[in-house]
Amino acid sequence: MPLPDGTIPVGISLLIAGVATYAFLKVGTIAVGGEDEFAPIVSLWFATFALAPGFFLPLEQELGRALAHRRAIGDGTSPVIRKVVQLGATLVAIVVLAIIVTSPLIATNYFDGDWWMVLALIGTFVAYAPAHLARGVCSGSGRFRDYAVIMGSDGVIRILLCIALAVIGIRAAGAYGFAIAASPLFAVGYVWRRGALRAIPRTNDTGTIDQGSDASWNEVTPNLGWLLLGSVFAASLLNAGPITMTLLAADNEKDFVTTFSYGVLLARVPLFLFQAVQAALLPGLSRLAARGELVEFRAGMKRLAIVVVGVGFVGTAGAFLLGPFAIELVYDAELGGRTLAALALASGVYMMALALGQAVIALKGHALVAFGWGLGVATFVVVTWLSSDDLFRRIEYGLFASSVVAMVAFGIALKSKLDAGVNPDPDSLVEAATPRK
């Protein structure tokens, strides 16, 4: 089967984004002078990618879906873009206000009294809003190369900014926090300058060109509430390990935060590979959904599940056998094979939960997906609280158990939907297929 449009550039951008993530942690640690000094930046990193994709990925998904639908029927896209931008601005205002209200707690308990990092957290959250909206415009308009530029260049620019700060001689953590905030804006500015964010007009039968028919809120928000809830839960669970480590680590364990974060990112290598595979497989499932071929849809999901199991197994074995050597070579840090394998196994189970959740979304089960991720978050809190006194193990147990619970919930939901004969929804597959950072 020929690769769908955009598969290659999006796959390359995912690879670049993954490599840039690992490189940033290495470059940043050297730039600020050590792991203890870099710990607040690591904490900011994971808080950012729990908040920003959690709140803005659903907007990106709904914008891409609505624009793709309008393109298919020959309608103009400008009214839809304006509606989603209004939603994005409202979300930004609500979350920023919540951060400001809780800033004393965030500064004291999460950033060890560093108020500059609180300001950097606000800056990063605000900056990723236009980045996600720009990605939604590019994907919904079929401009996949520009989509790939936004996704892939973010990490590269972040590293360049860190190098520039280090050359100047700046070592304050806050400066590097603002570098994280600024990095996505460069690519957004670039694709805007080249016209990739322009709306597609409508041409009437008379030859008149206009912006298109007015967009109702129902057109851009049919599943937004459930998508938003599920996305926040899923992103929180994906980044829960380092965030919890930051909150629970004692004063003499601050270096654990950075080391554990290295391990989490190393364990996510299979997840990056999965997203690249997903970029090729899910559009094919979308075509099956469009034709209502439920039997072939089941077969496609089985193939996707086999890929996930294979990638997860290789990732877990690789983490156990080669992980300690890799983390020492790349980051000059020590972490045992058991810990790395446990993190990789939890990541593999999360991958399977993500794949099953995507299938449930494709079968119009948005509420069930939100419920499943919510169960996962609740499980993480309970297991981390009660399972062990060892800091590393209690988080490892929490990550694994929460991913298992979410996976089982989605498996049950998927079987129920398929047994009921629910037809896949092509528009929902667009929502399911959006890559996570």
Q: Within its chain, how far is the Cα of 255 from the centroid?
A: 26
Q: Is residue 216 part of a domain?
A: no
* 192 and 228 housed in the same domain: no
316 and 379 fall within a common domain: yes
Q: Are residues 235 and 158 in the same domain?
A: no
Per residue in 169-207, pLDDT (tens digit) is 888 888 899 998 999 999 999 999 999 999 888 876 655
Output the pLDDT for position 1. Answer: 41
Question: Is 206 among the domain residues?
Answer: no
- Six-digit token pair at 370? 């939100």
234 falls within a domain: yes
Same domain, 192 and 227: no
HEC string for the chain: CCCCCCHHHHHHHHHHHHHHHHHHHHHHHHHHCCHHHHHHHHHHHHHHHHHHHHHHHHHHHHHHHHHHHHHHHCCCCHHHHHHHHHHHHHHHHHHHHHHHHCHHHHHHHCCCCCHHHHHHHHHHHHHHHHHHHHHHHHHHCCCHHHHHHHHHHHHHHHHHHHHHHHHHCCCCHHHHHHHHHHHHHHHHHHHHHCCCCCCCCEECCCCCEECCCCCCHHHHCCCHHHHHHHHHHHHHHHCHHHHHHHHHCCHHHHHHHHHHHHHHHHHCHHHHHHHHHHHHHHHHHHHHHHHCCHHHHHHHHHHHHHHHHHHHHHHHHHHHHHHHHHHHHHHCCCCCHHHHHHHHHHHHHHHHHHHHHHHHHHCCCHHHHHHHHHHHHHHHHHHHHHCCCCHHHHHHHHHHHHHHHHHHHHHHHHHHHHHCCCCCCHHHHHHHCCCCC
Does 143 lie in the same domain as 102? yes
pLDDT band at 16 (very low <50, low <70, confident <90, very high): confident
**Are 33 and 140 within one domain?**
yes
- Per the domain annotation, does 212 fall within a domain? no
Are 174 and 32 part of one and the same domain?
Answer: yes
Which whole-number Å values give the CA distances from 71 to 66, 106, 207, 372, in the listed order? Answer: 9, 44, 17, 33
Backbone φ, ψ for residue 390 (5° rounding): -75, 125
Place of tokens 């990550």: 399
Q: How far apart are CA 353 and CA 379, in angstroms?
A: 14
Q: How many structural domains compose the chain? A: 2
Query: What is the pLDDT, as a whole number, of residue 215?
Result: 82
Q: Mark whether 254 and 391 lie in a shared domain.
A: yes
Does the residue 130 lie in any domain?
A: yes
Taking the C-alpha atoms of residue 128 and residue 47, their distance in angstroms, rounded to an integer, is 13
Same domain, 108 and 182: yes
- The more confidently predicted of residues 279 and 405 is 405
Domain assignment present for residue 214? The answer is: no
- Give tens-digit pLDDT for 308-366: 888 889 889 999 999 899 888 888 888 888 999 999 999 999 999 988 888 888 777 88
Please indicate, yes or no, if residue 210 is contained in any of the structural domains.
no
Task: List the beta bridge partners of residue 64.
Answer: none
Q: Do 295 and 155 belong to one domain? A: no
Q: Which of the pair, 108 or 209, is modelled with greater confidence?
A: 108
Last residue of a domain, one of 162, 197, 232: 197
Domain membership of residue 205 (yes or no) is no
Q: What is the pLDDT of residue 2?
A: 45
Q: Are residues 114 and 8 in the same domain?
A: yes
The answer to whether residues 151 and 288 belong to one domain is no
Task: Give me the domain span that covers residue 250.
Answer: 223-437
pTM of the full predicted structure? 0.84
